[in-house]
Amino acid sequence: MKFCTVKQYFDDENNNNVTNGIATTVIPLPNKHLKIKANNKEMEQYEQELLRNVMPQELTKLILAANYLNFKEALDFFCRTVANAIQNKSVDYVRKFFGLESDFEPGEEEKLCKEFAWSFEGVDED
């Protein structure tokens, strides 16, 4: 099923969402997964190496690609990697990462931050 979608992707010339660079990262994954299926540790090491050169913001594009290709393992993996990347970051960093803006009423956000001040301790500097 994965490979049908991949073929469809290549045939679909109007696809602007996924750049070729991203596709070359995602597409070899099924083969690699099948090859070293038996060994969790090897897989994790392979995946860590793979992403060492990828900038955090590129991860969003990888997620879109994996989602489009309906490739569950890659999607899970990229989501987890994004989660690791943002885990200890500030609220501002996360907003910029996802292209979001604060839409709270004035004072509402302050109230929330104050109520959960303990969750802001030890957060990475931006």
Residue 92 CB neighbours (<10 A): 10
Q: CB 13 → another protein: shortest distance, Å? A: 20
**Tokens coding 56:** 């955090």
Residue ranges in contact with another protein by CB under 8 A: 1-2, 17, 37-41, 43-45, 48, 55-57, 60-61, 63-64, 67, 72-73, 75-76, 79-80, 82-84, 86-88, 91-104, 109, 112-113, 116, 118-120, 123-126
If the CB atoms of residues 10 and 120 are measured against another protein, the closer one turns out to be 120
Q: Measured between alpha carbons, how far is residue 100 from residues 2, 93, 104 in Å? A: 31, 10, 12
If the CB atoms of residues 13 and 55 are measured against another protein, the closer one turns out to be 55
Collapsing DSSP to helix, strand or coil, 19 comes out as coil
Radius of gyration (C-alpha) of the chain in whole angstroms = 18
Collapsing DSSP to helix, strand or coil, 64 comes out as helix
The closest of 109, 108, 57 to 81, measured between CA atoms, is 57
If the CB atoms of residues 24 and 99 are measured against another protein, the closer one turns out to be 99
Q: CB 85 → another protein: shortest distance, Å? A: 9
Q: CB 120 → another protein: shortest distance, Å? A: 6
Q: CA 28, CA 7: separation in Å to the nearest integer?
A: 13
Q: CB 11 → another protein: shortest distance, Å? A: 23
If the CB atoms of residues 21 and 94 are measured against another protein, the closer one turns out to be 94
